[in-house]
Amino acid sequence: MTVSAILKQKGHDVVTVDARATLLEACDLLAARRIGAVVVVEEDRQIRGILSERDIVRAVARDGAKGLTAPVDSCMTREVVTCREADTIDRVMQLMTTGRFRHLPVADNGRLIGLISIGDVVKRRIEQVERDAEELRAYITAA
Ligand code: AMP
């Protein structure tokens, strides 16, 4: 299965935030949308960074509650690893494992066109394992 097939099911919507928003505003967004990360984009949806709940926890641990007034720009990750629509689930799992993160923006010429989370990957892998088991059961029963 490819990233393209996952996006066909889940859609291309991605929650984004402006680099000038405060961390508190980013927290509101994460809580309201029940997600763990937001992508920081410029006007033309060029990817500028990614901010996850872990970045916010780090900022609060370092600066206390007053750290929440800092801009997203001050603690987002700037070197964002992305994938493309043609990439396979195995490739996505490899990127997430190597990079130790749970979110992978999908890019087309640097522009954001979707996001794959570790939850999306696990869901598809479980479906695949269940399909394989069912085929094996059918094969054994028919034999
Ligand atoms: P996560 O596991 O996705 O919540 O993120 C853990 C850390 O990795 C945080 O510092 C994120 O900013 C960073 N991060 C998340 N996704 C990516 C990505 N695709 N590329 C680079 N860094 C990322």
Tell me the chain's radius of gyration from C-alpha atoms: 18
Query: Considering all CA atoms of the chain, what is the largest pairwise distance in Å, rounded to the nearest integer?
Result: 68
Q: Average pLDDT in the 63-86 region?
A: 97
Atom of ligand 1 at shortest distance to CA of 50? 12
pLDDT per residue as tens digits for the range 14-33:
999 999 999 999 999 999 99
Q: Average pLDDT in the 108-118 region?
A: 96
Does ligand 1 have an atom closer than 6 angstroms to the CB of 102?
A: yes
Does ligand 1 have an atom closer than 6 angstroms to the CB of 55?
A: yes
How much is the pLDDT for 115?
Answer: 98
How much is the pLDDT for 32?
Answer: 98
Does ligand 1 have an atom closer than 6 angstroms to the CB of 111?
A: no
DSSP-based three-state secondary structure for 50:
strand
More confident residue, 85 or 143: 85
Please check the confidence at residue 143 and state whether its pLDDT lies above 90: no
Pocket test for ligand 1, best of 47, 103, 104, 117 (most atoms within 8 A of CB): 103
How much is the pLDDT for 70?
Answer: 97
Torsion from C-alpha of 61, 65, 70, 76, nearest 10 degrees: 30
Helix%, strand%, coil% for the chain, nearest 5: 50, 25, 25
Which residue from 119, 131, 125 is spatially nearest to 10, judged by alpha carbons? 119
% of the chain beyond a pLDDT of 70 = 100
Angle between the N-to-C axes of helices 3-10 and 118-142, in degrees from 0 to 180, rounded to the nearest 10: 100
Please check the confidence at residue 10 and state whether its pLDDT lies above 80: yes
Question: What's the N-to-C CA distance of the chain in angstroms?
Answer: 29
Q: What are phi and psi of 95, to 5 degrees?
A: -65, -40
Q: Average pLDDT in the 41-49 region?
A: 94
How much is the pLDDT for 63?
Answer: 96
How much is the pLDDT for 43?
Answer: 87
- pTM for this prediction: 0.91
CA distances from 14 to 1, 35, 69, 128, 137 (A): 21, 10, 24, 25, 39
Whose CA is closest to atom 15 on ligand 1? 101
55 alpha-carbon distance from chain centroid: 14
